[in-house]
């Protein structure tokens, strides 16, 4: 298990507010660990769409998830909201590794910290393609 | 299938903004129909908690769902947000029937309209109890 | 709220086993009410695909959900499995109303009973089309 | 990103069949990456409950998730089922690291491989406790 301390709010460049849902709380009364990964997907794709890079229905390339991970330090609980910080850790030839931090609204320390690796592929055959230059320029703006 | 026209925004007394998630979109590219029911639960319990009536971990009574339904008129799509209107249609001895409308942000017409029937039960044995007077007073404030 | 008694196992013509998941249990320790609707979708589309009628990625028509509903009589709890009975209540010009019953493995009485109305539409413009004859013949075989 | 090859079926000691659901498929037509984590939770807790170790509603200790991760090699698609292999990689003082492999029914190669770290805590105050001896003996039986 990774022992690195969680990164502070200052490392994140883009924020996505997330509303918790009644059914996010599991039998122990807190947001289930799989929900965080739904938020990661939502934050990464939301930023890509918002920047005009990703077009889910007809654009090229599209992003497929090849690796994700998350460490959990503190529970979150519906109905309390949360917010997800996003920044870019590394841009490869065809892939991007994003860093994500989940925070309770006023909290300085992250409740959870994760990563999310996208590989960009051609829609038609889902073969990896180089990250387009316009994407690289935008991704550089949210570098960690 | 019910043919009644969907009710307008004006019938709703409490609003819950909902953020759509990447994984809410199903294989046809729109928010899956079961997601609306997650929002209904979230809106009803959120209002009850926010009004200080429902205490999920230790209060009494708690609300169990005995019937729900929804009609769908228009698709919703991540990453567009939505909002859920809530009002009370009927208060019985132990049960409350809530009306719920799902709207795209600027839309006048509901994308979906549903209902949600809670029965209030004692936590310990989950037997129905009368809706407490304090709850009735609050519920009356959001009558449809 | 509908008072009709729940229909018996004998009314259902096709069965789909469902595995409950850890995160299906909500804060009250039972399968959340919205999960049943995920099972309905899974049972209806699974039957349509299994019969060679629906082709999700490229066939025509596709089915859009226009109305659903469910009444709940008894809780279900992970890790116990369940099974969903399916039959057809009514076939219209473009729509089909399915009946669904959720049962614990050995139970005679349904834990929940619901319905699910599909409208069949052309993939390209999502306009309703008549239910194809081959579909009608198959649907007749699982009439309630 | 980790480059280690995925482990073969033979490394897994316990298998959980999983049924995919209509709504598991996301806008790209395959099971969303967060769903795998729902299966991990289901497989780990299901094994613990099945062995009589974990009692979700009243037993002690309970398991909290402190870290998870997953690498994805191949898509899975509803309505195809899958199966999740489980084994134990490491038992610490209060924690257990499980290895999980997701396989299509006949596939030799895993579609995804992940891990799941539980810390066992006292129910009342959620402070870590040593993994009980009876748990250690059972966990040793499914060592990777």
Average pLDDT in the B86-111 region? 97
Query: Residue B96: enclosing H or E segment and its boundaries?
Result: strand B95-103
Check if the beta carbon of residue D98 is closer than 8 Å to that of residue D113: no
Query: What chains are in contact with B, requiring at least 3 Cβ pairs below 8 Å?
Result: A, C, D
Q: Which of B23, B34, B35 sits opposite D26 (nearest CB)?
A: B23
Asked if D34 lies within 8 A of A37 by C-beta distance, the reply is yes
Average pLDDT in the B18-30 region? 96
Q: pLDDT for A67-91, tens place per residue?
A: 999 999 999 999 999 999 999 999 9
Fold of C9-141: Thiol Ester Dehydrase; Chain A (3.10.129)
Q: Which of A29, A34, A35 sits opposite C27 (nearest CB)?
A: A29
Asked if C22 lies within 8 A of D45 by C-beta distance, the reply is yes
B/D interface, count of CB pairs below 8 Å: 26
pLDDT at A2: 61
Query: D3: pLDDT confidence band, cut at 50, 70 and 90?
Result: confident
How distant is the Cα of C7 from the closest Cα of chain D, in angstroms? 25
Average pLDDT in the B7-14 region? 98
- Grouped pLDDT means (10 residues each) for chain A, 144 residues: 85 97 96 98 98 94 97 97 98 98 96 98 95 98 97
Q: Which of A22, A32, A78 sits opposite C23 (nearest CB)?
A: A32
How distant is the Cα of A24 from the closest Cα of chain B, in angstroms? 9
* pLDDT beyond 80 at D38: yes
How distant is the Cα of D30 from the closest Cα of chain C, in angstroms? 11
Asked if C79 lies within 8 A of D23 by C-beta distance, the reply is no
Query: What chains are in contact with A, requiring at least 3 Cβ pairs below 8 Å?
Result: B, C, D
pLDDT at B79: 96
Query: D4: pLDDT confidence band, cut at 50, 70 and 90?
Result: confident
A8 touching B, CB under 8 A?
no
Q: pLDDT for B109-139, tens place per residue?
A: 999 999 999 999 999 999 999 999 999 999 9
Query: D2: pLDDT confidence band, cut at 50, 70 and 90?
Result: low
Q: Which two tokens stand for residue C135?
A: 């579909």
pLDDT at C53: 97
Asked if B23 lies within 8 A of A38 by C-beta distance, the reply is yes
Query: Residue A98: enclosing H or E segment and its boundaries?
Result: strand A95-103
The angle at the Cα of C115, spanning C109 to C118, to the nearest 5 degrees, equals 150
The candidate with the shortest Cα–Cα distance to B96, out of B127, B132, B58, B51, is B132
* pLDDT beyond 60 at B1: no
Distance, in Å, from the CA atom of B15 to the CA atom of B2, rounded to the nearest integer, reads 24
Q: pLDDT for C71-86, tens place per residue?
A: 999 999 999 999 999 9
Q: Which residues contact B113 (CB under 8 A, 6 or more apart)?
A: B6, B7, B70, B71, B73, B99, B100, B101, B102
Average pLDDT in the D101-119 region? 97
Chain C contact probe: residue of D18, D21, D55 with most C CBs at under 10 A: D21
Average pLDDT in the B44-61 region? 96
pLDDT at B35: 98
Structure pTM?
0.97
Residues in chain C with pLDDT values less than 70: 1-2
pLDDT at B2: 61
> What string of H, E and C letters represents the secondary structure of C96-115?
EEEEEEEECCCCCCCCEEEE
Asked if A22 lies within 8 A of C26 by C-beta distance, the reply is yes
Q: Which residues in B70-95 are b (16+ Cβ under 10 Å) and which e? A: bbbeebbbbbeebbbbbbbeeeeebb
- Domain chopping of chain A, boundaries: 9-141
Residues of chain A neighbouring D68 (CB-CB closer than 8 A): 33, 69-70
Q: Which of A22, A50, A56 sits opposite B42 (nearest CB)?
A: A22
Cis geometry, peptide bond prior to residue B61 (ω within 30 degrees of 0): yes
How distant is the Cα of D6 from the closest Cα of chain B, in angstroms? 26
Distance, in Å, from the CA atom of A128 to the CA atom of A64, rounded to the nearest integer, reads 9
* pLDDT beyond 90 at B23: yes
Check if the beta carbon of residue C64 is closer than 8 Å to that of residue C118: yes
């Amino acid at each position: 298990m990774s022992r690195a301390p969680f990164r502070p709010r200052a490392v994140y460049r883009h924020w996505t507010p997330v509303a918790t849902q009644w059914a996010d709380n599991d039998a122990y009364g807190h947001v289930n660990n799989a929900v965080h990964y739904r938020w990661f997907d939502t934050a990464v794709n939301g930023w890509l769409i918002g920047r005009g890079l990703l077009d889910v229905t007809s654009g090229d390339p599209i992003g497929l998830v090849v690796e994700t991970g998350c460490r959990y330090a503190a529970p979150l609980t519906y109905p309390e909201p949360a917010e997800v910080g996003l920044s870019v850790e590394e841009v490869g030839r065809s892939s991007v590794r994003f860093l994500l931090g989940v925070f309770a609204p006023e909290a300085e320390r992250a409740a959870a910290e994760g990563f999310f690796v996208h590989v960009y592929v051609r829609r038609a055959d889902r073969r990896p393609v180089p990250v387009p230059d316009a994407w690289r320029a935008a991704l550089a703006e949210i570098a960690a």
